[in-house]
Chains A and B, each alone.
Chain A
């Protein structure tokens, strides 16, 4: 008897109680778990950002000691990157890829369950370091030796938690690739796939290529600390700069892991609310692939100041600038999609447009940082902090918010409160710019990053930035209200949800979709 036949005979809905979530192999359940976990981590990491902004509200040491401050910056980054943004995208992938492709589930459902349930253990382990002798890791999320080797009891916990996060990501990526390659409904050719699926396919390849490299780098840190190896110890014949090369060989593609699915989300949302097909679909696919390829040959722009040969500096400078070309293709395609469209501005569209504008600001400051001699001035200043927060907050996180508003009615069957959604958008957009834009000026004026105290001339911009930070943090509570109230009830969503929505999830599935979908493959024309 085939597996398929057995499955049919046991067709049923979800189990009851907590065990439904512990043992679930359903892509929708696992997607929900990932998204809720990401939301929780977003607030944990966000509360650490509040500590940072509180301490920086005025010069001098007010609330925390420098060691704890450095722990906050380190943990904030690790939690936001590996705990909030990446799991949020994996959650969206779980929910959306099968229903966008007409597949009944992810290809490897048990591994899917395992991928998720590793994460709570990884982050419990990481957060437990806050209570250990020597405090939580404080050497920065980049974990450069020899500084990181001075971490106290937390060090092996940090390394093991990163290994667990990596294993989870790799298993998730394998599942995504196998699902997309093997599980598409008949007629769903590669070039008919929604762009969100395309961007995730490319992201999954990036994950498989670079997460093992990070795992190797941190394993070598572990052996340097506990087993007397000298990979990164100059006194033993090793090279601390080699760690930076290996780390950023992971780290730069990681940046694109954090943004490519966001490109996919925006490419789904803008055509819906512009009521036009996406302009330049195939060029979007090729641009995504180009960005992924280029991400492997630009890593040393993070370390222009370590002392590289001029040829190296020039190579990495020009290669980095080259990324602006496919990224520009994408931005122009989004604008062209909106051009002469019959546009409306519901909350998902507002977040998507906010993404296009503010991600571009982050892109432009990235171009400035790509110029090697200029980077010598900006390196390790608040200009860099402003740059990557424009890319990751108004980029990745705004796209995740756009996705949540766009698909929440499909997931829950209930419309969210549009006026609260708009309040959330405008409060977030104004406050995030108050938060991060002045940091450009601080960096240009020479304020270094990762310091709890600063020279008095930086006070005003830091105060403005902190006020923006507090407002931004508080406005995110509206998101929680939206999610909870939408799950609990509200105006019923139609099957299509949005007038201009296209795709299998809107055209062939009710809102909310049944627990099992596409057990019979849909027909794709």
Chain B
């Protein structure tokens, strides 16, 4: 399936919703970004 005409989200035949997929993905992404900046912030402020 070429990227140009692939759906952004795969066909949803299961019990979930697209909104649920996006929310969970964004939430996990924010955790990752938070950990990245969080650890550097703690180190910069002498808390590690």
Chain B associates with chain A: yes
A interface vs B, CB < 8 Å?
A: 3-4, 6-8, 10, 12, 14-15, 19-20, 23-26, 103-111, 113, 170, 173-175, 177-178, 181-186, 208-209, 211-213, 215-217, 219-220, 231, 242, 245-246, 518-521
Query: Would you call A113 and B3 a contact (CB within 8 A)?
Result: yes
A-B contacts counted at CB < 8 A amount to 129
Known: A213-B39, A242-B43. A182 touches B24 (CB 8 A): yes
- Contacts A10-B5, A246-B48 aside, 13 further interface pairs with beta carbons under 8 A come to A3-B11, A8-B11, A19-B2, A24-B1, A25-B1, A184-B15, A212-B32, A213-B35, A213-B36, A219-B40, A220-B40, A518-B13, A521-B13
Which chain B residues lie closer than 8 Å to A519 at the CB level?
11, 13
- Contact sample, A vs B, 8 pairs, CB 8 Å cutoff: A108-B9, A113-B3, A181-B24, A208-B28, A208-B35, A211-B32, A212-B32, A231-B43
Known: A170-B32, A231-B43. A184 touches B14 (CB 8 A): yes
Count of chain B residues with a beta carbon within 8 Å of a chain A beta carbon: 36
Which chain A residues lie closer than 8 Å to B40 at the CB level?
216, 219-220
Q: Which of B18, B34, B38 contacts A3 (CB 8 A)?
A: B18
Known: A3-B18, A216-B36. A246 touches B7 (CB 8 A): no
Nearest-neighbor residue (CB-CB) of A24 within chain B: B1
Nearest-neighbor residue (CB-CB) of B48 within chain A: A242
Nearest-neighbor residue (CB-CB) of A215 within chain B: B36
Query: Contact flags (1/0) for B17-40 with A, using CB distance below 8 Å?
Result: 010110011001101111111111
Q: Which of B3, B8, B31, B35 contacts A23 (CB 8 A)?
A: B3
Give Cα distance in the complex from A182 to B12, angstroms. Answer: 9
Which chain A residues lie closer than 8 Å to B2 at the CB level?
15, 19-20, 23-24
Give Cα distance in the complex from A246 to B48, angstroms. Answer: 9
A202: shortest Cβ distance to chain B, in Å?
14
Nearest-neighbor residue (CB-CB) of A520 within chain B: B13
Query: Would you call A186 and B14 a contact (CB within 8 A)?
Result: yes
Give Cα distance in the complex from A308 to B20, angstroms. Answer: 45
Which chain A residues lie closer than 8 Å to B24 at the CB level?
177-178, 181-182
A57: shortest Cβ distance to chain B, in Å?
42
Give Cα distance in the complex from A84 to B40, angstroms. Answer: 29
Query: Would you call A110 and B3 a contact (CB within 8 A)?
Result: yes
Give Cα distance in the complex from A182 to B48, angstroms. Answer: 36
Query: Would you list the 9 A-B pairs with minimal beta carbon distance, nearest first?
Result: A182-B16, A212-B36, A212-B35, A23-B3, A216-B39, A105-B10, A25-B6, A4-B11, A7-B11
B interface vs A, CB < 8 Å?
A: 1-16, 18, 20-21, 24-25, 28-29, 31-40, 43-44, 48
Q: Which of A104, A109, A182 contacts B6 (CB 8 A)?
A: A109
Known: A24-B1, A219-B40. A103 touches B14 (CB 8 A): yes
Query: Would you call B15 and A12 a contact (CB within 8 A)?
Result: no
Give Cα distance in the complex from A208 to B21, angstroms. Answer: 17
Give Cα distance in the complex from A178 to B14, angstroms. Answer: 13
Known: A212-B32, A246-B43. A108 touches B25 (CB 8 A): yes
Query: Would you call B31 and A14 a contact (CB within 8 A)?
Result: no
Give Cα distance in the complex from A6 to B10, angstroms. Answer: 11
Give Cα distance in the complex from A418 to B2, angstroms. Answer: 36
Which chain A residues lie closer than 8 Å to B11 at the CB level?
3-4, 7-8, 104-105, 519
Which chain A residues lie closer than 8 Å to B32 at the CB level?
170, 174, 208, 211-212
Give Cα distance in the complex from A173 to B29, angstroms. Answer: 10
Which chain B residues lie closer than 8 Å to A25 at the CB level?
1, 3, 6
Nearest-neighbor residue (CB-CB) of B41 within chain A: A216
Which chain A residues lie closer than 8 Å to B29 at the CB level?
170, 174
Query: Would you call B25 and A23 a contact (CB within 8 A)?
Result: no
Which chain A residues lie closer than 8 Å to B34 at the CB level?
212
Which chain B residues lie closer than 8 Å to A6 at the CB level?
7
Query: Would you call B48 and A183 a contact (CB within 8 A)?
Result: no
Give Cα distance in the complex from A245 to B43, angstroms. Answer: 11
Give Cα distance in the complex from A20 to B6, angstroms. Answer: 12
Which chain B residues lie closer than 8 Å to A178 at the CB level?
21, 24-25, 28
Q: Which of A12, A108, A184 contacts B21 (CB 8 A)?
A: A108
Give Cα distance in the complex from A208 to B18, angstroms. Answer: 22
A97: shortest Cβ distance to chain B, in Å?
13
Query: Would you call B15 and A186 a contact (CB within 8 A)?
Result: yes
B48: shortest Cβ distance to chain A, in Å?
6
Give Cα distance in the complex from A422 to B32, angstroms. Answer: 43
Query: Would you call B20 and A246 a contact (CB within 8 A)?
Result: no
Query: Would you call B4 and A23 a contact (CB within 8 A)?
Result: yes
B36: shortest Cβ distance to chain A, in Å?
4
Most buried by A among B32, B33, B36: B32
Q: Which of A4, A170, A173 contacts B12 (CB 8 A)?
A: A4
A2: shortest Cβ distance to chain B, in Å?
8
Give Cα distance in the complex from A454 to B10, angstroms. Answer: 57
A160: shortest Cβ distance to chain B, in Å?
15
Query: Would you call B25 and A174 a contact (CB within 8 A)?
Result: yes
Give Cα distance in the complex from A170 to B25, angstroms. Answer: 11
Query: Would you call A3 and B12 a contact (CB within 8 A)?
Result: yes
Most buried by A among B11, B12, B43: B11
Give Cα distance in the complex from A14 to B20, angstroms. Answer: 29
Nearest-neighbor residue (CB-CB) of B34 within chain A: A212
